Structure 1
Amino acid sequence: MSARPGPLVRSARIARGWSQMDLAARLHCSRSTISRLETGSRRLDDVATLRRLAEILEIPPATFGVTITVTGEPPGEDDVRRRKLLATLAVTAGATVTGPAARSAGPGHAEARDAVLIARVRGALLGTDARADPVPPPRLAAALAATCRDYDACRYDRLAEALPRLLAGGHAAAGEPGGAAMLAQTYNLVTRLMVKLDEPLGWLAADRARTFAQTSGDVLAAAEAARQLAVLTRRNGWPDQATDIAMAAADADELRSDRPEHTAARGQLVMSAAYTAAHAGDRAGMRELTGQAMALAAQLSGGILLRHNGGGFGITAVHLHLISAEYAAGDPATAVRAASAVQPRALPTAERRARYFTDLARAYGMWGRRDETLRALLAAERTAPQETRTRPAVRELVSGLLVSGRTSPELRGLATRCRLQ
């Protein structure tokens, strides 16, 4: 029996254009149960439930390790094709969850960029990789700025080399003036990357970011650490706690100043709470909180601040957030309309532009618009190839397109570049 069916369930659900609430209603369970199943925080061993889940999602039960009921009817050509694809996707899904050790088992995966990156960062976080040559303290600030630029440009091959060196250098200088603040900012960057790659290392990095931010008294680093912790908490299926973390940080006295950077940090935290409300199915709460974020953005006179904190905050950032929030709340048509308010070329970084096209693709996918979904994914790939081919959310979308209908040369090419076939 498959111990970790979550990524495959999520891919099949997205391919059908369903929200977690839609699937929960069909399976007669809560949305949080589906969330825990998809994230792997809940193990599903009940054969009857697995069989029912396979029936609802039109997945062969054998994909979950459940014996198929013999009907006496030979499978059709489409069934055979889908079963072959799903078998491949099951392996891919397992690799996504279990990390680089599992990913390296398949042909071509040993040198995969994301596996190398995660392995190097894991070694730096756990202290098991002594290969990193520490960045000298006088160069830490410049090196961190350069690494943030590489992240914004989605140059992940450079991050595999730079992040371990930054962490080593930061710890060596932690006791010097400004050293703890520099280390907090580095751990925030690591957390953002691990969140993007769906890696559990994000929890460790977020905790260290918060610790060093508190030690240094860096208000902005502390706010960003709280935001990333809220994201991880939401992804683990705890929306109430995620909201509490984000809103408590936004209401902290330290951010209640007239400094524009503090206003921007509050806005990012409120947007995080709005996105959590969307995932919880609270569309009204999401829109109310988004309105609060927009009001904070309006105080910045159209500028974008905190660019290295996930692309920054401003009016454009709120519009970009609204695409993913409306999609997460189950309203893809409104998400697509929200996208029309954003000019991709106006977004400050390649990472943000790739996110725009990926969010648009997810909305089109939920809406059942296969052609538009593929076009948006290809646009994301042109914008940031390393980001698009590595990100689990993109791989799930491509997997869903592969199993939900006819393929095309463009789709098969994208699937190949994402290492899905």
Structure 2
Amino acid sequence: MIVHVGNVRRSAMASPERETPHRSRQFRRECYLSRVERRLRNPERLLAELVDDALGADGKLIEAWVMEFDPKPMLEPGAGGGATKRRTFLKSASTALVVPGVAESSPPVDAVARLRDALIPDSPAASENLALTVFGRAVTRARRDFTAARYAGLAHDLADLVPVARAVTEPAGYALAAQVYHLAARTLIKLSAPPYAWVAAHQAEQAAEASGDLRAVAEARRDMVSLFHRAHDYGKARDLTARAGDILRPALPKAGPAAWGAYGTLMSTGAIAAARLEDRHTALSLLGEADEAARRSPKLVLSAGHVVTYRIGVSIILGDAGTAIDHARRIAPEEIPTVERRAGYYTGIAEAYTLWGKADRAVRALLSAEKVAPAEVRRAGARRVIEDLLHRDAHSNLSGLRALARRVSVTL
């Protein structure tokens, strides 16, 4: 990926949330960009995202970065030894090696509170008008932050967008509002605040219905399915998916790519719920529909790699760790273009290897997930895997496990 960032340097660095008064940090940013321009250093993914946003490239620069600079697969037989040690070392170093001053530092508790108050104000809240094109660009940036697993900062941004969503009065505006509420629901789930996610999901459904937009309807229904799944009401989640499929499927042939992507994600989420009920037939059938949707969807919305992460999850739930690893080996991590799903790929591998009794490989996968998206390793699923590994061997000497447990506050 050859990108000269000099012309967009100011716009990529001008956002108030990324400015710092410290001149040495500004100098380090300038040196970093200069070294990238002179091909003395590979760009970080974050730089690709900032430049993509500044140029309005609609994800094309991010896809180019994925193809050229993403980490190589870590599932080759016999992988380990010196290469593993180097990866572990690089992981520790690169966790802090981002463009200085742009790390997400907002406390999640404060972020959740702000978004909650925007969704459920203490008194009648004032709405805010914003030109539809400006609103649309803000929603696109919010989506990009979600796929990059920057949840706390995104929650603050969504809190500012909710009053705008409340003010819309036309179908196109309602479709964007539905996306804001959808992202709010997904973000609150990621930040372990499901009670408020229910509120956002309900508002997403209302806006989606008002818009008549197939993508918005599928995304809002997926939020409900996901929340019922997290409430352990797997039957309701599976049945909602089936009914939504019956309603949406006839309209898909005339739908745009983004609607196909939303439909495929809905089917994938329903497949996980079906697997919880040991309904293998329905789970695999829904994943088949997701595969078909992925072929018609933009890669950044739903790719074959995304669906593989759900296939891994279904196999683990059904107790087949070997099949989960086989699915993982059929896809390279760089074929999963979003950070959020790629971290899910690695945590799925870690869970499968844990079930399989291959603890060393499970730890390597968790460290890879942390390198990709630290926020994902702090979520309940990954924490359970870490706890399981520690319980299997309380005095484990596995490289990096105990340090990882300390970083995510997991204790025996």
TM-score interval (norm. to shorter): 0.5 to 0.7
The partner residue of 1:122 within 105, 108, 116 is 116
Aligned to 2:66: none
Say if 1:314 and 1:160 are closer, same or farther in 2 by CA, change over 3 A.
closer
For 1:164, give the aligned amino acid. A
Aligned to 1:167: 162
Whole-Å Cα distance in 2 between the matches of residues 137 and 216 of structure 1? Answer: 17
Whole-Å Cα distance in 1 between the matches of residues 267 and 107 of structure 2? Answer: 34
The partner residue of 2:282 within 278, 285, 300 is 285
SS state at 1:178 partner: helix
Whole-Å Cα distance in 1 between the matches of residues 190 and 225 of structure 2? Answer: 14
Say if 1:146 and 1:265 are closer, same or farther in 2 by CA, change over 3 A.
closer
User: Is 2:378 aligned against 1:385?
Assistant: no
Provide TM-score, normalisation by structure 2.
Answer: 0.67
User: Is 2:298 aligned against 1:305?
Assistant: yes
Whole-Å Cα distance in 2 between the matches of residues 384 and 263 of structure 1? Answer: 26
Whole-Å Cα distance in 2 between the matches of residues 336 and 230 of structure 1? Answer: 26
Whole-Å Cα distance in 2 between the matches of residues 320 and 128 of structure 1? Answer: 40
The partner residue of 1:416 within 399, 406, 409 is 406
Percent identity over paired residues: 34
What is the CA RMSD across the aligned residues, in angstroms? 2.6
Whole-Å Cα distance in 2 between the matches of residues 131 and 155 of structure 1? Answer: 27
Whole-Å Cα distance in 1 between the matches of residues 324 and 275 of structure 2? Answer: 12
CA contact (8 A) 2:171 2:210 kept: no
Say if 1:386 and 1:272 are closer, same or farther in 2 by CA, change over 3 A.
closer
For 1:151, give the aligned amino acid. F
Whole-Å Cα distance in 2 between the matches of residues 131 and 292 of structure 1? Answer: 41
Aligned to 1:243: 238
Whole-Å Cα distance in 2 between the matches of residues 399 and 323 of structure 1? Answer: 20
For 1:305, give the aligned amino acid. P
Say if 1:294 and 1:216 are closer, same or farther in 2 by CA, change over 3 A.
closer
Provide TM-score, normalisation by structure 1.
Answer: 0.65
Aligned to 2:64: none
Say if 1:384 and 1:134 are closer, same or farther in 2 by CA, change over 3 A.
farther
User: Is 2:264 aligned against 1:275?
Assistant: no
Q: How does 1:389-400 map to 2 (within 5 A)?
A: 389=378, 391-400=379-388
Cα deviation for residue 129 of structure 1 reads 9.6
Say if 1:112 and 1:185 are closer, same or farther in 2 by CA, change over 3 A.
closer
Aligned to 1:403: 391
Whole-Å Cα distance in 2 between the matches of residues 284 and 178 of structure 1? Answer: 38
CA contact (8 A) 2:151 2:190 kept: no
For 2:172, give the aligned amino acid. G
Whole-Å Cα distance in 1 between the matches of residues 285 and 341 of structure 2? Answer: 24
Q: How does 1:209-248 map to 2 (within 5 A)?
A: 209-248=204-243
Say if 1:260 and 1:212 are closer, same or farther in 2 by CA, change over 3 A.
closer
Q: How does 1:66-81 map to 2 (within 5 A)?
A: none
Cα deviation for residue 212 of structure 1 reads 0.8
Deviates more, 1:138-147 or 1:250-259: 250-259
CA contact (8 A) 1:120 1:129 kept: no
CA contact (8 A) 1:274 1:287 kept: yes
Aligned to 2:5: none
Aligned to 1:204: 199
Dislocated runs of 4+, deviation >3 Å? 128-138, 262-266, 295-298
Cα deviation for residue 329 of structure 1 reads 1.6
For 2:303, give the aligned amino acid. G
CA contact (8 A) 1:154 1:386 kept: yes
Whole-Å Cα distance in 1 between the matches of residues 152 and 235 of structure 2? Answer: 36
Whole-Å Cα distance in 1 between the matches of residues 185 and 405 of structure 2? Answer: 27
CA contact (8 A) 2:182 2:220 kept: yes
Q: How does 1:291-370 map to 2 (within 5 A)?
A: 291-298=288-295, 300=296, 304-305=297-298, 307=300, 312-370=301-359
CA contact (8 A) 2:186 2:223 kept: yes
Deviates more, 1:348-357 or 1:288-297: 288-297
The partner residue of 1:255 within 251, 254, 258 is 251
Deviates more, 1:124-133 or 1:400-409: 124-133
Aligned to 2:135: 140
For 1:415, give the aligned amino acid. A
Cα deviation for residue 166 of structure 1 reads 0.8
Cα deviation for residue 297 of structure 1 reads 3.8
Whole-Å Cα distance in 1 between the matches of residues 318 and 273 of structure 2? Answer: 9
Unmatched tracts of structure 1, length 5 or more: 1-110
Whole-Å Cα distance in 2 between the matches of residues 242 and 384 of structure 1? Answer: 27
Aligned to 1:180: 174
Deviates more, 1:289-298 or 1:125-134: 125-134
For 2:403, give the aligned amino acid. G
Aligned to 2:186: 192
Say if 1:180 and 1:260 are closer, same or farther in 2 by CA, change over 3 A.
closer
Whole-Å Cα distance in 2 between the matches of residues 286 and 176 of structure 1? Answer: 37
Whole-Å Cα distance in 2 between the matches of residues 205 and 327 of structure 1? Answer: 30
Aligned to 1:3: none
Aligned to 2:27: none
SS state at 1:251 partner: helix
Aligned to 2:68: none
SS state at 1:305 partner: coil
SS state at 1:257 partner: helix
Q: Matched residue pairs, number?
A: 301
Say if 1:348 and 1:306 are closer, same or farther in 2 by CA, change over 3 A.
closer
Cα deviation for residue 388 of structure 1 reads 2.3
Deviates more, 1:183-192 or 1:154-163: 154-163
Cα deviation for residue 174 of structure 1 reads 2.0
SS state at 1:127 partner: coil
Deviates more, 1:336-345 or 1:238-247: 238-247
